[in-house]
Amino acid sequence: MVAHCHGAACEGLDPVEQGCGGDAWTAAAGRVGRAHVEVRYSSVCRAAWARMTWAAPGDEVTAVSGGRTHAATVPGDRTRAAFTAMLGVPTPSEVRACWRTADGEEGCTGAGGEAPLPEPSPVPG
């Protein structure tokens, strides 16, 4: 897939629709209960977003960089996942992924690193 945006031009856009998911890698990760929370980064698009998988309906994930944020809520369907719109950033080190569960638990990953982390297990632990 061809990327349709780069850097600041990706701000607020959907990473899948813009073709930024193809080379995406996990730059930071955390767990909340059984859910995985990640900062995803596309080197081609020079943009990052937050993703939450194995989550419960109503859980929220937010991509945070400085004063900019983009949030998404896990829908009440079987996907059990949500991802945010993108933040145009030159490196993933400027982005954290934060969460708030439907039952009120909150937290954030550390800032993204410069090397890909292993992908989380497709089955919750």
Mean pLDDT of 55-62: 96
CA 5 to the chain's CA centroid: 17
Question: Are 51 and 27 spatial neighbours (Cβ–Cβ below 8 Å)?
Answer: no
Mean pLDDT of 1-18: 93
Q: What is the dihedral of CA 5, 98, 95, 114, to 10 degrees?
A: -100
User: Both tokens of residue 62?
Assistant: 């937010």
Give CA separation, 114 vs 73, 75, 91, in Å. Answer: 27, 31, 7
- Tens of pLDDT, residue by residue over 75-95, are 998 889 999 999 999 999 999
- The predicted model scores a pTM of 0.92
Q: What is the number of other CB atoms lying within 10 angstroms of the CB of residue 27? A: 25
**Is 9 strand, coil or helix?**
helix
Question: Are 94 and 109 spatial neighbours (Cβ–Cβ below 8 Å)?
Answer: no
